[in-house]
Chain A
């Protein structure tokens, strides 16, 4: 039985998926920053978080990531993808690129994803819960109703989010996200 009949196999790359996730992370990151200025509830949520709050959501092992946190004077900013030089208080790791694809093609909502053990979160729990609520609100803004109703357990009814607030908010968030 000669050994070299059974060669070593290097793992390939999934470039397209990584690009797609990177773009989505960039959009969501900027959208969070936009929403923190536009939406009252998001502002409150961030208000409750500690001042040096710095969240880093990235895909293992070396996939794309996004960092959102409060800068020196407490404003919520999207801080790109490189964690060097930043003190991360909440580190949310998605176990593999396929898990990230499931989340960002909205086949699995954030809650279902963490229920299915796709995320490995280290950092204190209250911040995580706050971030999940923020993410739900941002998704309501970013995406049409049909898609978000999959991604969220309960789509905010008329009472919680008046249509005026939703559509105006959506416009403002899009504007802020795509203007530098």
Chain B
């Protein structure tokens, strides 16, 4: 574990994990002396009845200040404003956000407005805008993948001015992250697979990108180990609580890892596909993961090789020679994608063209690949990728990912080779 020349690591979130961790909610609220929490969620979560355990946990003593449950798929300023209004009206003193990434981002936005009691998010954009601790925020993730309960960035779109506002601040980290296996019990197999692979990508990229550091590495390895041991179980038997808890912990660990070590090209391209074709984030990640690792092999081949251990276990790592390991890792990830495809009955794609929406038509047509490539160049994650990407590189990766064949590594324009392991082309 080489100590980097410089790194920063921070995760100020109090993690509470367990099969019925939610029962500790009153205790948590008391510790941040809040008596009137507001519950924010989205229709899907509410519909699936995931709010009941939260209400039961609050019990008689603590009366929820109100439940707001129509947060749209990706959070926007308008929703944040009227939740804040409701929050002030009911004189709540803390927020419990139950749901996926967008619910959490919305909750963070609301927390900014109510704590700084203003109602214009614009003057908090950018670095160092927030100076003080905000009101308490308790995050209860219902998908084991985005890891947004551990990240310090909130992304809120302003649809009128069609711009995405970024709020990177340590004060946005939730006070508590409650990992309760009951929250993901009802997650369907396909969604479990996407979100788990999303977490896997977070961990792999965190292990191989530029601001890699000892703590992100060990949390990433732990996350990959937990996922590779529990993903099949979680997909095949949704009821297995132990697997659910493991996946929830894995996603939190992956969140902890990538929120410090940042992610690279896979996320850059993934975001662009999501933006243009509205494909769920996890789906793009699982497809692009092997291609990202292949593209950077000449820079971080030895690191990819080391990932073989958490993925396939000690025996596989031991039997392979150092040069073979990176390719074996990538092969293992592709196998995992195909196994998941079988287990989810074809819903889990192994390449871009297999991504289909609910009623079966292709979501990522071939001709749209060039726009995706152009958009991905401007995604912030590109900075942290070990190797530069220009338009042609991105397009080449997208083409191969569309087809589903491995990258032709001779075509990659290689910068200074830093991989300690000579991977044969």
Q: Smallest CB-CB separation from A150: which chain B residue?
A: B416
State which residues 86-104 of A face B: CB under 8 Å: 91, 93
Which residues on A sit within 8 Å (CB–CB) of B416?
A: 149, 153-155
The stretch from B91-99, B311-319, B384-392 touching chain A is B384-392
Which residues on A sit within 8 Å (CB–CB) of B129?
A: 122
User: In the complex, which of the residues B126, B211, B378, B413 contacts A115, with contact meaning CB atoms closer than 8 Å?
Assistant: B211
Q: How far is the CA of A126 from the CA of B382 in the complex (A)?
A: 11
**B414 part of interface (Cβ distance < 8 Å):** yes
**A27 part of interface (Cβ distance < 8 Å):** no
Q: Is the CB of A154 within 8 A of B388?
A: yes
**B262 part of interface (Cβ distance < 8 Å):** yes
Which residues on A sit within 8 Å (CB–CB) of B211?
A: 115-117
User: In the complex, which of the residues B7, B163, B380, B414 contacts A129, with contact meaning CB atoms closer than 8 Å?
Assistant: B380
Which residues on B sit within 8 Å (CB–CB) of A177?
A: none
Q: Is the CB of A120 within 8 A of B128?
A: yes
Q: How far is the CA of A112 from the CA of B384 in the complex (A)?
A: 8
Q: Is the CB of A115 within 8 A of B388?
A: no
**A24 part of interface (Cβ distance < 8 Å):** no
Q: Is the CB of A115 within 8 A of B262?
A: yes
Q: Is the CB of A125 within 8 A of B262?
A: no
Q: Is the CB of A157 within 8 A of B378?
A: no
Q: Mark B379-406, 1 if CB is under 8 A from A, else 0.
A: 1101110111010000000000000000
* Residue from B129, B262, B383, B386 whose CB has the most chain A CB atoms within 10 Å: B383
State which residues 122-179 of A face B: CB under 8 Å: 122-126, 128-130, 132-133, 149, 152-155, 157, 159-160
Contact (A129, B127) CB under 8 Å given A115-B262, A154-B415: no
Count of interface residues, chain B, beta-carbon cutoff 8 Å: 31
Q: How far is the CA of A90 from the CA of B384 in the complex (A)?
A: 20
User: In the complex, which of the residues A122, A125, A132 contacts B127, with contact meaning CB atoms closer than 8 Å?
Assistant: A122
Which residues on A sit within 8 Å (CB–CB) of B382?
A: 129
Contact (A114, B128) CB under 8 Å given A125-B166, A154-B388: no
Q: Is the CB of A153 within 8 A of B388?
A: yes
Q: Is the CB of B383 within 8 A of A123?
A: no
Contact (A116, B7) CB under 8 Å given A122-B127, A125-B166, A155-B415: yes
Which residues on B sit within 8 Å (CB–CB) of A114?
A: 383
Q: Is the CB of A128 within 8 A of B7?
A: no
Q: How far is the CA of A112 from the CA of B6 in the complex (A)?
A: 10
Q: Is the CB of B163 within 8 A of A124?
A: yes
**B189 part of interface (Cβ distance < 8 Å):** no
Contact (A117, B413) CB under 8 Å given A123-B126, A125-B166: no
The contact size tier of chain A is: 20 to 34
Q: Is the CB of A130 within 8 A of B378?
A: yes
Q: Is the CB of B388 within 8 A of A121?
A: no
Q: Mark B253-265, 1 if CB is under 8 A from A, else 0.
A: 0000000001000
Q: Is the CB of B380 within 8 A of A115?
A: no
User: In the complex, which of the residues B5, B126, B383 contacts A132, with contact meaning CB atoms closer than 8 Å?
Assistant: B383
Contact (A112, B380) CB under 8 Å given A122-B125, A154-B388: no
Contact (A115, B166) CB under 8 Å given A122-B125, A154-B415: no
User: In the complex, which of the residues A115, A130, A155, A157 contacts B383, with contact meaning CB atoms closer than 8 Å?
Assistant: A115
Q: How far is the CB of B168 from chain A (nearest CB, A)?
A: 9
Q: How far is the CA of A125 from the CA of B383 in the complex (A)?
A: 11
Which residues on B sit within 8 Å (CB–CB) of A153?
A: 386-388, 415-416
Q: How far is the CB of B396 from chain A (nearest CB, A)?
A: 14
Q: How far is the CA of A112 from the CA of B212 in the complex (A)?
A: 11
Q: How far is the CB of A54 from chain B (nearest CB, A)?
A: 15
Q: How far is the CA of A118 from the CA of B134 in the complex (A)?
A: 25
**B425 part of interface (Cβ distance < 8 Å):** no
Q: How far is the CA of A26 from the CA of B97 in the complex (A)?
A: 48
Q: Which 5 A-B pairs have the closest CB atoms?
A: A122-B126, A154-B415, A126-B378, A120-B127, A115-B211
Q: List 8 A-B contacts (CB under 8 A).
A: A91-B126, A116-B211, A124-B163, A129-B378, A129-B382, A149-B416, A153-B416, A154-B416
Known pairs A111-B210, A121-B126; list 13 more (Cβ under 8 Å). A115-B210, A115-B384, A116-B6, A116-B8, A122-B126, A129-B378, A133-B377, A149-B416, A154-B387, A154-B388, A154-B413, A154-B416, A160-B390
Q: What residues of chain B have their CB less than 8 Å away from a CB belonging to chain A?
A: 5-8, 125-129, 163-164, 166, 209-211, 262, 377-380, 382-384, 386-388, 390, 413-416
Q: What residues of chain A have their CB less than 8 Å away from a CB belonging to chain B?
A: 91, 93, 111-112, 114-117, 120-126, 128-130, 132-133, 149, 152-155, 157, 159-160
